[in-house]
Structure 1
């Protein structure tokens, strides 16, 4: 695992831990989303390391979910899952009154934990991305 990927994954874990300790559901959702973004960055760093033989080309988008799905198609379902929640994150950051129900924030937090577990498996070579759990399947929880 590259040091860049390890740093991003560590930061994701810190953000997920902070989310666990936040009583406000919207803030829990927001911190968990930021943790997922760091996880996506770790996947991108890992994919760059694995793609040493591919010519580098400048991405046309800066969307982390699009870039992650392109770099590692095995994470495409996760990319779609998180992209579908980008509007909620943007509304929270903009200060728009958008409450997130506590049960939704908790489920999202759990899914981010699963995602980060899969990212760690991918980066350490324990997961070849030929299968793996999908969002909502309840498999593979990562503890914060």
Structure 2
């Protein structure tokens, strides 16, 4: 349990109690994953730990505005809310199908190595999520979907940028 007992960063701003609770749950669940015998149990516990750590970041950062969008997974929301963790969000999203299969009792696809790798990755992610919760967003990084007046917005998959008018532009229109 080397990665699960790390000290929490000193808080820069108050952290929501729910975020602290979710991080504690993530660390406990990660401990369960490290002690589980069966690969499927290790895998599902590690995935659950990562999901709780992601939820802690979402609680701390706030949920991104989605307008009329359909419900999204925690991994999609994390990618938007905490761009610095986007690669991790995509990594765990890629394992969602295997997690769902394991939860449904289809565990033959999960090898010991796959489970061990996910336990290790979930431990690293939980540490990064803890730092993200206590430190807040990195300097200069903002969640996508939030723009300031006068900035250009590039939508993934589109080549053209859309200019957001500044306040003075709106008055002259």
Whether contact under 8 Å (2:101, 2:107) holds in the other structure is: yes
Q: What are the superposed Cα offsets for residues 23-64 of structure 1, whole Å, 9 maximum, x if unpaired?
A: 11111000000011101100101111xx8xx97857632301
> Where do 1:87-106 residues align within 5 Å?
87-106=97-116
In structure 2, C-alpha distance between the alignment counterparts of 1:33 and 1:3, rounded to whole Å: 22
CA gap of 1:124–1:59, structure 2 versus 1, over 3 A, is farther
- Check the 8 A contact 2:98/2:109 in 1, yes or no: no
Name stretches of at least 5 consecutive residues in structure 1 with no aligned partner: 132-144
Instruction: State the secondary structure of the residue aligned to 1:95.
Output: coil
Larger helix percent = 1
Give the structure 2 partner of residue 77 of structure 1.
Answer: 87
Match of 1:19 among 16, 33, 43: 33
Runs of 4+ in 1 over 4 A off after TM superposition: 54-59
Q: Deviations over 1:101-144 (max 9, x none)?
A: 1112111100100000001111111872879xxxxxxxxxxxxx
**Higher Rg:** 2
Structure 2 vs 1, CA of residues 20 and 125 (structure 1 numbering), >3 Å: closer, same or farther?
same
Contact between 2:33 and 2:43, CA under 8 Å: does it hold in 1? yes
CA distance in 2, matches of 1:21, 1:6: 23
**Pairing 1:1-144 to 2, within 5 Å after superposition:** 1-48=15-62, 60-125=70-135, 128=138
TM score, norm. by length of structure 1: 0.78
Aligned residues: 127
TM-score, length of structure 2 as denominator length: 0.66
RMSD (Å), alpha carbons: 2.4
SS in 1 for 2:87: helix
Residues 28 and 105, structure 1, Cα contact 8 Å, conserved in 2: yes
Deviation at 1:71, TM superposition (A): 1.0
